[in-house]
């Protein structure tokens, strides 16, 4: 496919521009990843006006996933074995927010796929993602340099306390630059701005980097390419300070994928650039931080406990799950239920919080998890022959989705970027 960037008739495309280019404003207002719910309303209106609506192959799997989530509401009041907690507003709020997000993401995919190339050129959409990459790098540097930066958003001020005080909601509406965690044995900042938590920053950075390279390097002139080199080099600092092993593995897999799938001079240039980058990195102070992180795999035991407890709990409702996450009794060190005044280390993450796969298993059962995997596997299978830059990049993102589902939650912002990437692949088949 030949990618062109004519002057578009962009009146119908403003919601996606507002989401991607305007994301820092949404973050400052307290909406952040929830902006897609707000913008799904005009997207749905645009879709309604241009019936009949074009549908992508494989969408039926996503619709089944959504239908399964509706059914899972029947289990919200139930408690799996070896878990604790009472059914209350917090559990219902979390369920309804996730449902709204799933529906909004479906609307967004259909909206993107039904815009014409004139209304939203492929390259224009790719470069919007590239703008969000620049925002992400800036947010990462903010987290490194000013880790305590935080403020109360306007949305947080107007929401009633019983909503804003919910832990899941609080992460979404309270802007912070970094999470302070004792990953290395002492408190250190992990960048998260402008997203909801540090792992979301890592997942989003890797996906946006792929599209940034396509928009600024592959289809860029000399000036864009020079900017790309500077920005990618700047991104290395928060990438290392994120202490995010999943991100590091994802970047390594992306490099391997590209070396295998491209050929000729491009492969040689990539290998040479990679070797040069490795030498420069090894000689920099950043390499020592990576070695410290690898020597402190403190989260392994926590993840192992949470994942095994999630699988065990999900066996009580293997078909439709429990609608929302649950808290396990005890943790990887003790049978104590949770944090107390005399046991500050007894807390643990909720079941299903260590990766989208585990989240789906507890909320939608093993069937929901299988539908999710099948949706993205199907996208890889259908679009693997597409060797255009957008095709190669989109398939790479689909592969990263299947890697990250073991370690990263998809909701909220990561799943938005995954499905925008899916829409780019779909659009590439007819653009």
CA distance 318 to 380: 27
Dist CA 167 CA 91 (whole Å): 10
- What residues in the chain have per-residue pLDDT under 70? 1-10, 183-186, 267, 269-270, 273-274, 276-300, 330-348, 431
CA separation for the pair 302, 182 (Å, rounded): 14
Give pLDDT, residue 283: 59
Cis amide linkage into residue 412, ω under 30° from 0: yes
Chain segment 409-419, per-residue pLDDT in tens? 888 899 999 99
H helix intervals, 187-263: 198-212, 222-241, 245-261
- Name the token pair of 122: 């492929």
Q: Tokens for 183?
A: 């990953």
Beta strands in 40-177 (DSSP E): 83-84
Radius of gyration of the chain (CA): 21
Q: Looking at residue 412, what is its pLDDT?
A: 87
The DSSP string of 52-89 is SPP--TTHHHHHHHHHHHHHHGGGTT---TTEE----H
Cβ atoms of 212 and 130 within 8 Å: the answer is: yes
Question: Are the beta carbons of 347 and 338 closer than 8 angstroms?
Answer: yes
What pLDDT sits at residue 126?
98
Residue 419, pLDDT score: 97
Count the neighbouring beta carbons within 10 Å of the beta carbon of residue 195.
29
What pLDDT digit, counting tens, does each position of 32-69 carry?
Answer: 999 999 999 999 999 999 889 999 999 999 999 999 99
Residue 330 DSSP symbol: S
- Answer for the pair 190, 242: CB distance below 8 angstroms, yes or no: yes
* pLDDT, position 363: 94
Distance from C-alpha of 2 to C-alpha of 308, rounded to nearest angstrom: 48
Distance from C-alpha of 279 to C-alpha of 57, rounded to nearest angstrom: 44
Q: Which of 204, 196, 84 minimizes the C-alpha distance to 135?
A: 204
pLDDT at 374: 97
């Amino acid at each position: 496919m030949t990618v062109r960037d004519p002057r578009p008739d962009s009146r119908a495309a403003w919601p996606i521009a507002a989401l991607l280019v305007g994301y820092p404003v949404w973050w400052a207002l307290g909406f952040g990843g929830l902006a897609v719910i707000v913008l799904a309303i005009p997207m749905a209106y645009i879709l309604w006006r241009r019936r009949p609506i074009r549908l992508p192959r494989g969408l039926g799997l996503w619709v089944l996933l959504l239908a399964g989530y509706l059914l899972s509401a029947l289990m919200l009041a139930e408690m799996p074995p070896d878990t604790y907690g009472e059914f209350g507003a917090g559990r219902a709020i979390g369920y309804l927010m996730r449902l709204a997000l799933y529906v909004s993401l479906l609307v967004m995919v259909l909206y993107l796929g039904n815009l014409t190339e004139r209304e939203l050129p492929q390259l224009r959409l790719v470069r919007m993602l590239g703008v969000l990459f620049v925002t992400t790098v800036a947010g990462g540097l903010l987290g490194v340099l000013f880790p305590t930066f935080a403020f109360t958003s306007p949305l947080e001020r107007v929401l009633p306390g019983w909503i804003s005080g919910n832990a899941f909601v609080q992460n979404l509406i309270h802007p912070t630059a970094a999470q302070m965690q004792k990953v290395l044995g002492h408190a250190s900042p992990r960048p998260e701005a402008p997203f909801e938590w540090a792992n979301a920053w890592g997942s989003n950075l890797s996906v946006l980097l792929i599209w940034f390279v396509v928009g600024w390097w592959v289809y860029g002139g000399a000036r864009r390419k020079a900017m790309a080199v500077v920005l990618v080099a700047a991104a290395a600092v928060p990438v290392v300070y994120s202490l995010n092993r999943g991100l590091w593995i994802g970047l390594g897999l992306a490099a391997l994928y590209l070396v295998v799938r491209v050929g000729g001079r491009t492969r040689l240039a990539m290998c040479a650039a990679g070797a040069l980058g490795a030498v420069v990195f090894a000689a920099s102070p950043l390499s020592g931080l990576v070695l410290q992180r690898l020597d402190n795999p403190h989260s392994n035991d926590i993840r192992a406990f949470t994942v095994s407890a999630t699988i065990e709990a999900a066996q009580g409702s293997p078909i439709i799950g429990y609608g929302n996450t649950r808290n396990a009794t005890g943790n990887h060190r003790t049978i104590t239920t949770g944090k107390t005044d005399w046991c500050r280390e007894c807390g643990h993450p909720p079941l299903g919080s260590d990766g989208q796969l585990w989240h789906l298993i507890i909320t939608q059962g093993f069937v929901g998890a299988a539908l999710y995997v099948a949706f993205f596997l199907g996208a890889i299978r259908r679009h693997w022959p597409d060797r255009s830059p957008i095709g190669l990049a989109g398939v790479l993102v689909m592969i990263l989705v299947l890697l990250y589902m073991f370690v990263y939650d998809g909701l909220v912002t990561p799943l938005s970027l995954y499905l925008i990437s899916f829409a780019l692949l779909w659009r590439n088949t007819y653009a």
